Each structure stands twice: as structure tokens, then as C-alpha cells.
Amino acid sequence: MIQLIFKPSVCKFSTCREFAEEFKIGEGDLVLSNEYIYKPYFDGLNLPVTTVFQEKFGTGEPTDVMVETIMAQAKKTKYKRIIAIGGGTVVDIAKVLSLKSEGNVDDLYAKMPNLERDCELVIVPTTCGTGSEVTNLSILNRTRLGTKMGLVSDAMFADYAVLVPELLQNLPLGVFATSSIDALVHAVESSLSPKATAYTKLFGYKAIEMILQGFRKIVAAGNTKESRAEAAENFLIASNFAGLAFGTAGCAAVHAMAYPLGGVFHVAHGESNYALFTGVLKNYQQIQDSGEIRVMNEYLASQLGCSVDVVYEELEKLLNNILPKKPLHEYGVKEDDLQVMTDSVIKTQGRLMANSFVPLDEACILKIYSELY
């Protein structure tokens, strides 16, 4: 059994200048980023690179159509290395761009996991959530299928994951909130996964501690911009730890059940995860109140300073200061949609559902959606 997959070399630099110098960023590099990130941090360095700004190709999380348009644009230039500087959308697109491909995105899914790399890939995350810089998957909204699905292949591991805390100094509250809660969900789900190992749990539980203590500090300081900026480096590292944990042990039912909410109702990834998070954990515990869920609940209770019997309530109390939890109907979900969402999970999310702490059947998935409705 695989204990820990650790493919990209992880580097950390205090400033973008240091990163640019060390990596000799210049001709032959294609930088995929967002203008609002690239301009303030890299424009002054006058790097002779080709830039592609993702937002020119559509807003929101990556879709098959967006990726195909960017692929066509990128193919017009010659490059030896792709440097992705951005959040989950930019990183996920860059992974797909780094692959050899002749057809469209559907063809890549059909060939998965036997995909091939085309050029070197460097990933620089600018949010503290996806952990995607160290994983081999890309999550795309397959608009032609109406759901989000992971494109998974070892060909999608970056050569380098580069952490530059400076890039997170001005993270808007909404992005900080959704991305850091996503990282927490990665850490919890991967630690409860049947594929969890002593190695993944080392990173997973440490990430939980760093994120919860970070949230407590930020909330105590009034959730100010300064308090979040001060915590940025710790959250970036925690998100990377969580990425290493779920890169091997996988995410599970929370992510699987959040995808129909994100894909159809356009709820941000971390927010849709939060809508499902404790609802799934409670059901795990109802089905089997022993083993790793017990360990997890005791750990969460110790981090939150509460007793185990109120651990989910206390967890939500803390998280609601960062991102208020909403019932599903507030996202536009109708009662009739719950069965459709359940069907979608059964049909398209088998990869993730297999990592659930205990198997969840159709009736249980529908029950969880109904409880959260």
C-alpha cells in the first residue's frame, strides 16, 4: 500500500523577486496567471515571458470550454516551461496545458490516467486552499455532462511547487475563507479515508491544527485584513500539508457531494464543501462511532477546547465567523433537485465516494442532502 506520494519538490521564497531569480524565469516560459496577481508582484521585474491571463477566457472555476480556449491560445506560442501563478482555477488549467493533447478535454478524460507530459511545470499557489500544487489532479466543470470531475494522471504532477507567502498578503476575505476551509476539509477527509496512512495523517492532522488555531487567532483579532495577512504563511503551509495528505489518501464524500452543488448552482468550491462538511461527518459517526472518526472528533475537540459531544457544533461556530454556513435551498437548490444531485454523485463521483470513512449508499446520500436542505 502506498504510504505517501511526494512528487514535486517544494520550495519557499520570501519574495517574488527571489523566486524569479532562483528559477531564472525568462524566455521560453509561459506564465499562466491573473492580471491582478501578476501586475503588482511581477510587472516590476520586467521578465521576458509570455503571459496568458486566465480571466480573459471566462470567470469562475475552470470549465472544459475555458480550458479548450486557453489551450488553443497557448499553442500559438513556443514555450519550454509553464509557470502557473494563481488560485485553483489557474493551477488546474496549467496542469492540463502541460499535457500532450491533440483533441479536446473529453478526449483527455477518455485517455486518463494514461496521459503524457509535454513540458516542465512549476506551480505557485496564491490562495491557501487547494493544495493542488502537490497533487496530480485537475478539477474541471464538464459543462457537457453538468458536473465537476477530476482529471487524474501522474503526468500532471508539477516539477516544482513554489510557496511565496508574499503573494497572499492581499487575499480578499472571500477567497481566504473559501480556500482555507477547503484545505481544512482536505485534511479531515484524507485523514478519515481508508487510504490514510501514518504519513498522510502526519500532514493531515498537523494541517488541521494549523488551520483551526489560525482561525481562532484571526477571529480573536476581529478577522481583520492584518490578522489574515499575518497568518498567511502558516495557512499556505497548512494548505500544502493538506495537499500532500489528500494527494495520497484522497478526498471523499464531502467533496463528492459538493460537486453537484458547485457544478450546477455555481457555489465556490470551498463554500460548497462547507455546506456538506459537518453533515457528512455526523452521518459517518451515526453509522460507525469508532475507529478514526473517534480519533478525529477527539482531536478536533482538543483543538477547539470543547467536549467531544458538541464538537461539530463548536467547529461550525468557529467556521461561521470565517464563512457563514447556508442551507442548500439558499443556493437555489429545490427539493426535487436532491434526488438529481444524489443520482449525479452515484453516477460520476465513484472515485471520491470510495474514500469515504464508511460506505454511503444512495439512501444515505439523499438523507444527508435532505438534512442540509
Judge contact between 325 and 276, C-beta under 8 A. Answer: no
Enter the C-alpha cell of residue 272: 460548497
Look up residue 174 and give its amino acid.
G
Q: How far is the CB of 261 from Fe ion (least distance, A)?
A: 13
92 counts as binding Fe ion under rule CB under 5 A: no
Residue number with the smallest Cβ distance to Fe ion: 182
Which DSSP helix (H) or strand (E) runs through 29?
A: strand 29-33
Choice between 148 and 201, CB closer to Fe ion: 148
Evaluate whether 115 touches 136 at the Cβ level (below 8 Å).
no
Helices (H), the chain: 16-22, 35-42, 64-74, 88-97, 105-111, 173-192, 198-220, 225-249, 253-265, 269-287, 292-304, 311-320, 337-348, 350-353, 362-372
* Contact indicator for 349, 256 with CB cutoff of 8 Å: yes
Please identify, using beta-carbon distances, which residue of 150 and 165 lies nearer to Fe ion: 150
Least Å distance, CB 263 to Fe ion, is 13
Nearer to Fe ion, 182 or 337 (CB): 182
Nearer to Fe ion, 101 or 141 (CB): 141
Least distance from C-beta 137 to Fe ion, angstroms?
A: 10
Candidate segments 60-68, 180-188, 189-197, 321-329, binder of Fe ion by CB under 5 A: 180-188
From residue 202, alpha-carbon distances to 187, 210, 245, 246 in Å are 10, 12, 8, 12
Sequence-distant (≥ 6) Cβ neighbours of residue 44 within 8 angstroms? none
Interface region with Fe ion, contact rule CB under 5 A, candidates 174-182, 260-268, 279-287, 351-359: 174-182
Selected binder of Fe ion within 29, 64, 133, 182 (CB under 5 A): 182
Judged by CB under 5 A, which stretch of 18-26, 34-42, 176-184, 298-306 contacts Fe ion? 176-184
Least Å from the CB of residue 130 to Fe ion: 6
| Nearer Cβ to Fe ion (139/296) | 139
CB of 103 to Fe ion, least distance (A): 27
Residue 343 CA to residue 102 CA, distance in Å, equals: 32
Cis bond leading into 324, ω under 30°? no
Shortest CB 189 distance to Fe ion, Å: 9
Compare residues 89 and 101 and give the one whose CB is closer to Fe ion. Answer: 89
Binding site for Fe ion (CB under 5 A): 182
